[in-house]
């Protein structure tokens, strides 16, 4: 009897259903939502403001009330945002090892491990294919050519050019000018030489400022040179001099433009535009002073976005442009 009872007990135990741990559907949804949030952060939407430069040809041509041209500019803006985000994802994959040693960049999603390299590269590839396809279908070939040049130069910069002294800052400034050229190709409005010269010197100044801030941080940490750049801490004063000179050259280009016949044709009150010169001079000087004091620890464009004074300067420039036109 004991043997029968034992066998019966074992049978009943084995026959009992096994309860698997319950899966919470909400947990899976939460994980997917977290992945999208991390991916959105890695795409750096706060940098999309740089792509607003594609509107420059339309704005300076005084065609902002033309719905067709503004629509083309908006499409170009969206495509550049997608392209730049794809490039940021690829760059973060390539720079993940060095970013982990950086006091700020180590918190980027890929460097911190919150986003896998496989997902980043897959999304980047999809974005690049989509932007090329849409550009081919909806915009002139000139825009597509400019976009491809932007992508190729970015790849060369990430793999090699960023390690070359002076070449890297010139390339960084050229990226901004390429955005303006792309806006012109999308709308058929050729940017003036004045606009291109102004953007080249102004953004070259900001590129020098970016490298300057990086060296200031290294000096505070006691380092002598960058690991992945060609600059040394002893170059700080030289970068500051060249950056200030480029910023003031941008003001000079603006002053010469205001004295040209194009301004007389575009503005009813061209003398009002002269007031933009001291505003730009003030902003360039103030930004470099803040950098000299160690108050800028990031991309100068992002600093300007968070700086209330910079917004006031932009607002005043816009108001002066409107008053000069009326």
Coil, strand or helix at 182: helix
pLDDT on residue 231: 86
CA dihedral 58→186→207→299, nearest 10 degrees, is: 80
Residue 172 counted as domain residue: yes
Overall size of the chain counted in residues? 326
Q: pLDDT, tens digit, for every residue of 277-300?
A: 999 999 999 999 999 988 887 788
Coil, strand or helix at 225: strand
Confidence check: pLDDT of 7 > 60: no
Q: And the tokens for 45? A: 């939407």
**Which residue, among 86, 69, 322, 68, has the nearest Cα to 183 in the 3D structure?**
69
Confidence check: pLDDT of 9 > 80: no
Residue 168 counted as domain residue: yes
Q: Do 75 and 112 fall into the same domain?
A: yes
pLDDT on residue 5: 42
pLDDT on residue 272: 92
Lowest mean pLDDT among 95-99, 145-149, 207-211: 95-99
Q: Do 237 and 290 fall into the same domain?
A: yes
Q: Do 156 and 224 fall into the same domain?
A: no
Q: Average pLDDT for residues 32-36, to the nearest whole number?
A: 72
Q: Do 196 and 119 fall into the same domain?
A: no
Query: What sign for the dihedral angle of Cα 105, 109, 115, 118?
Result: negative
Q: Average pLDDT for residues 52-70, to the nearest whole number?
A: 94
Please tell me which of 16-20, 39-43, 110-114, 313-317 the model is most confident about, judged by mean pLDDT. Answer: 313-317
Overall domain count for the chain: 2
Lowest mean pLDDT among 171-175, 198-202, 232-236, 274-278: 232-236
Q: And the tokens for 61? A: 């041509």
Q: Do 73 and 140 fall into the same domain?
A: yes
pLDDT on residue 227: 62
CA-CA distances (angstroms) from residue 113 to 98, 127, 216? 14, 22, 28
Residue 74 counted as domain residue: yes
Q: Do 218 and 89 fall into the same domain?
A: no
Residue 225 counted as domain residue: yes
DSSP 8-state assignment for residue 228? S
Report the Cα 83 to chain-centroid distance in Å: 10
∠38-43-47 over CA atoms, to 5°?
130
The phi and psi torsions of 228 (rounded to 5 degrees) equal -115, 15
Residue 3 counted as domain residue: no
Residue 60 counted as domain residue: yes
What is the Cβ-side half-sphere exposure of residue 256, based on CA atoms within 13 angstroms?
A: 11
Confidence check: pLDDT of 1 > 80: no
Q: Average pLDDT for residues 175-187, to the nearest whole number?
A: 95
Confidence check: pLDDT of 24 > 80: no
Q: Do 146 and 218 fall into the same domain?
A: no
Residue 15 counted as domain residue: no
Domain end call among 138, 161, 187: 187
Q: How far apart are CA 159 and CA 164, in angstroms?
A: 11
Residue 100 counted as domain residue: yes
If pLDDT is split at 50, 70 and 90, which confidence band does 16 have?
very low
Confidence check: pLDDT of 81 > 80: yes
Q: Do 175 and 203 fall into the same domain?
A: no
pLDDT on residue 30: 52
Q: Average pLDDT for residues 298-321, to the nearest whole number?
A: 91
Q: Do 264 and 305 fall into the same domain?
A: yes
**Which residue, among 91, 226, 286, has the nearest Cα to 172 in the 3D structure?**
91
pLDDT on residue 128: 94
Q: How far apart are CA 73 and CA 75, in angstroms?
A: 5
Q: How far apart are CA 30 and CA 28, in angstroms?
A: 5
Q: Do 176 and 203 fall into the same domain?
A: no
Q: Higher model confidence: residue 57 or residue 218?
A: 57
Q: Do 148 and 234 fall into the same domain?
A: no
pLDDT on residue 33: 66
DSSP 8-state assignment for residue 166? T
If pLDDT is split at 50, 70 and 90, which confidence band does 3 have?
very low
Domain end call among 170, 187, 204: 187
If pLDDT is split at 50, 70 and 90, which confidence band does 31 have?
low
Q: pLDDT, tens digit, for every residue of 125-172?
A: 999 999 999 999 999 999 999 999 999 999 999 888 888 899 999 999
CA-CA distances (angstroms) from residue 188 to 55, 58, 108, 183, 185? 12, 10, 38, 8, 5
Coil, strand or helix at 13: helix
pLDDT on residue 13: 42
Averaged confidence pLDDT in the chain: 86
Q: How far apart are CA 274 and CA 162, in angstroms?
A: 37
Q: Do 216 and 140 fall into the same domain?
A: no
Domain end call among 126, 152, 187: 187
80 in Cβ contact with 147 (< 8 Å) = yes
Confidence check: pLDDT of 23 > 60: no
Lowest mean pLDDT among 29-33, 128-132, 169-173, 259-263: 29-33
CATH code, domain with 182: 1.10.357.140
Confidence check: pLDDT of 59 > 90: yes
Q: How far apart are CA 137 and CA 160, in angstroms?
A: 32
Structural domain including 304 reads 192-326
DSSP 8-state assignment for residue 232? B
Percent share of the chain, pLDDT over 90: 56
What is the Cβ-side half-sphere exposure of residue 138, based on CA atoms within 13 angstroms?
A: 15
């Amino acid at each position: 009897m004991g043997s029968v009872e034992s066998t019966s007990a074992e049978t009943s135990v084995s026959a009992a259903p096994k309860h698997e741990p319950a899966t919470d559907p909400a947990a899976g949804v939460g994980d997917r939502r977290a992945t999208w949030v991390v991916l959105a952060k890695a795409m750096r939407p706060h940098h999309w403001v740089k792509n607003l430069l594609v509107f420059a040809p339309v704005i300076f041509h005084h065609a902002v009330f033309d719905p067709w041209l503004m629509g083309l500019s908006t499409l170009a803006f969206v495509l550049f945002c997608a392209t730049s985000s794809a490039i940021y994802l690829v760059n973060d994959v390539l720079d993940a090892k060095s970013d982990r040693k950086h006091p700020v960049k180590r918190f980027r999603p890929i460097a911190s491990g919150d986003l896998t390299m496989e997902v980043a590269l897959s999304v980047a590839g999809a974005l690049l294919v989509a932007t090329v396809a849409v550009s081919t279908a909806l915009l002139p070939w000139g825009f597509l050519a400019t976009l491809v040049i932007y992508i190729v130069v970015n790849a060369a910069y990430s793999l090699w050019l960023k390690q070359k002294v002076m070449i890297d800052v010139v390339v960084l400034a050229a990226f901004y000018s390429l955005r303006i050229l792309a806006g012109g190709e999308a709308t058929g409005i050729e940017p003036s030489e004045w606009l291109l010269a102004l953007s080249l010197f102004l953004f070259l100044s900001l590129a020098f400022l970016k490298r300057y801030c990086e060296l200031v941080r290294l000096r505070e940490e006691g380092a002598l040179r960058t690991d992945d750049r060609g600059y040394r801490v002893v170059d700080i004063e030289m970068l500051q001099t060249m950056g200030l000179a480029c910023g003031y050259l941008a003001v000079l280009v603006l002053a010469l433009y205001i004295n040209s016949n194009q301004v007389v044709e575009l503005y009813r009150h061209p003398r009002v535009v002269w007031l933009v010169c001291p505003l730009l001079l003030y902003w360039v000087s103030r930004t470099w002073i803040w950098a000299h004091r160690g108050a800028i620890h990031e991309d100068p464009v992002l600093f300007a976005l968070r700086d209330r004074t910079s917004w006031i300067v932009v607002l005043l420039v816009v108001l002066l442009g409107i008053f000069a036109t009326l």
